């Protein structure tokens, strides 16, 4: 199977790029952030403090998280409930970042991610795909952009989905999430030594896509 790993901070454009590229190549697109979000939402619903490792770990046996693919599109399920929308709120973002720092949560989601990659040609995006989950991925991309550009993109995305948003709040949350994701003890956001870095701050979608397609072609 061919696996393409795309890592980078929130709002760098990973999901848009990965989704488009996957459709182009006929691969499935796996958004691993959605898994941490689902675990975070499940923990919140059960009254756990997302920062409390013991409380969150106690909710894991009830976190029946699965991904289903419909026409290459990923849907996220908690049991039989489609939570694909519920995991996109700002509270769910912060809960995901908090629970993702807990080793038991990362262990819990490891096999699921590896088994999807073993069974499918896929593009997987996240924070530790190239470094921890799929160290042997054929192609590794590290996608970045300035925090202001990323906050503006996330803000536009929320408005586009009809959600309420305030730019300063989005920027603030993005800075806090970056800080947490990069400085946690386990599987911090980091560029794999063999990943190609692409800074998308000054690029539009088409330019990023062309750049990445070129990298994929060179590596395969
Ligand atoms: O990509 P995202 O914004 O949906 O991810 C939500 C949170 O999950 C993010 O703040 C960090 C965490 N995450 C992670 O630790 N490892 C991944 N592979 C993907 C996401």
**pLDDT tens-place string over residues 115-159:** 999 999 999 999 999 999 999 999 999 999 999 999 999 899 889
* Cα 154 from Cα 89, distance rounded (Å): 12
Strands 122-126 and 3-7, sheet pairing: parallel
Strands 73-78 and 81-82: antiparallel
Report angle CA 199, 200, 202 to the nearest 5 degrees: 110
153 lines ligand 1 (CB under 6 A): no
What pLDDT band is residue 219 in, cutting at 50, 70 and 90?
confident
Give the H or E element holding residue 153. helix 147-160
The CB density around residue 176, as the number of other CB atoms within 10 Å, is 12
Distance 54 CA to ligand 1 centre (A): 20
Planar angle of CA 200, 212, 109, nearest 5 degrees: 85
How confident is the model at residue 157, as a pLDDT?
87
User: Is 113 near ligand 1, meaning CB less than 6 Å away?
Assistant: no
For residue 100 and ligand 1, the question of a CB distance below 6 A is answered with yes
Exposure string (b/e) for 73-85, b if CB count within 10 Å is 16 or more?
A: ebebebeeeebbe
Nearest CA to 138 out of 149, 124, 127 is that of: 124
Q: Whose CA is nearest to atom 5 of ligand 1?
A: 33
Of residues 90 and 9, which shows the higher confidence score?
Answer: 9
Burial status of residue 21 (CB atoms within 10 A of its CB: 0-12, 13-18, 19 or more): buried
Is the CATH number 3.30.300.180 carried by domain 3-219? no
- The Å distance, Cα 97 to ligand 1 centre, comes to 6
Ligand 1, atom 11: nearest CA belongs to which residue? 97
Contact 146, 201 (CB under 8 A): yes
pLDDT of residue 70: 83
The answer for residues whose C-beta is within 8 angstroms of residue 140's C-beta and 6 or more apart is 4, 5, 6, 7, 129, 130, 192, 194, 195, 196
11 pLDDT band, cuts 50/70/90, is: confident
Does the global pTM surpass 0.95? no
Q: What is the number of the ligand 1 atom nearest to the C-alpha of 100?
A: 15
Q: Which atom of ligand 1 is nearest to the CA of 181?
A: 11
Distance 33 CA to ligand 1 centre (A): 4
Q: Is the CB of 33 under 6 A from ligand 1?
A: yes
- Give yes or no for residue 10 CB within 6 A of ligand 1: yes
Provide the Cα torsion 130, 128, 146, 175; round to 10°.
180
Give dist(CA 141, CA 188) in Å, integer.
Answer: 16
Q: What is the pLDDT of residues 159-205, one digit of tens each?
A: 998 988 999 999 999 999 899 889 999 989 999 999 999 999 999 98
Confirm if 1 and 122 have CB atoms less than 8 A apart. Answer: yes
């Amino acid at each position: 199977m061919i696996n393409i790993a795309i890592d980078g901070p929130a709002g760098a454009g990973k999901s848009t790029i990965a989704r488009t590229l996957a459709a182009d190549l006929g691969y499935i697109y796996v958004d691993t952030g959605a898994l941490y979000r689902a675990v975070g939402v499940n923990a919140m619903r059960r009254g756990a403090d997302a920062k409390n490792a013991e409380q969150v770990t106690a909710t894991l046996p009830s976190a029946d998280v699965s991904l289903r693919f419909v026409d290459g599109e990923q849907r996220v399920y908690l049991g039989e409930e489609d939570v694909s929308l519920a995991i996109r709120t700002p509270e769910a973002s912060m809960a995901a970042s908090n629970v993702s720092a807990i080793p038991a949560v990362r262990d819990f989601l490891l096999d699921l991610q590896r088994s999807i990659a073993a069974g499918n040609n896929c593009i997987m995006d996240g924070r530790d795909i190239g470094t921890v989950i799929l160290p042997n991925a054929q192609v590794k991309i590290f996608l970045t952009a300035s925090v202001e550009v990323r906050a503006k993109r996330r803000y536009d995305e929320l408005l586009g989905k009809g959600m309420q948003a305030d730019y300063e709040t989005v920027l603030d949350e993005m800075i806090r999430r970056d800080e947490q994701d990069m400085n946690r003890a386990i599987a911090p956001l980091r560029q794999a030594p063999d990943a190609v870095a692409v800074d998308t701050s000054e690029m539009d979608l088409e330019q990023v896509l062309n750049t990445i397609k070129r990298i994929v072609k060179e590596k395969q």
